[in-house]
Amino acid sequence: DAGVTQSPTHLIKTRGQQVTLRCSPKSGHDTVSWYQQALGQGPQFIFQYYEEEERQRGNFPDRFSGHQFPNYSSELNVNALLLGDSALYLCASSWRGQTYEQYFGPGTRLTVT
């Protein structure tokens, strides 16, 4: 049983560019949440997807958008990249019927130069 997978592992982009990160949830999970973890900080919640809709959103600008596909996988898109967007982006999956467990992927390290 594969856990949560994310791609790519590392990514280097230039300021102003756009990036797409991908996440496949653990088998049986239907909810995907995205977190941003800046260096030396704890993860911060970006948004959550369930039934292909954004259900909850943290304090992030509209440059951050996402999508969930019918197979429950998800994408995180960031437009007009800023240097401050450099971070580890974590995806967490869960099953909506279970209210406490979230399983994390290994993350995508994004560097903006």
Residue numbers of the site for other proteins (CB under 8 A)? 31, 33, 35, 40-45, 48, 50, 55-56, 58, 88, 90, 92, 94, 96, 99-107, 109
**73 vs 16, 30, 52, 63, 92, CA distance in Å?**
26, 9, 9, 20, 11
Smallest separation (angstroms) from other proteins to the CB of 16: 27
Smallest separation (angstroms) from other proteins to the CB of 63: 19
Judged by beta carbon, residue 31 or residue 112, the one nearer other proteins is 31
Judged by beta carbon, residue 15 or residue 96, the one nearer other proteins is 96
Q: Contact at 8 Å (CB) between 48 and 56?
A: yes
Q: Which residues contact 16 (CB under 8 A, 6 or more apart)?
A: 80, 81
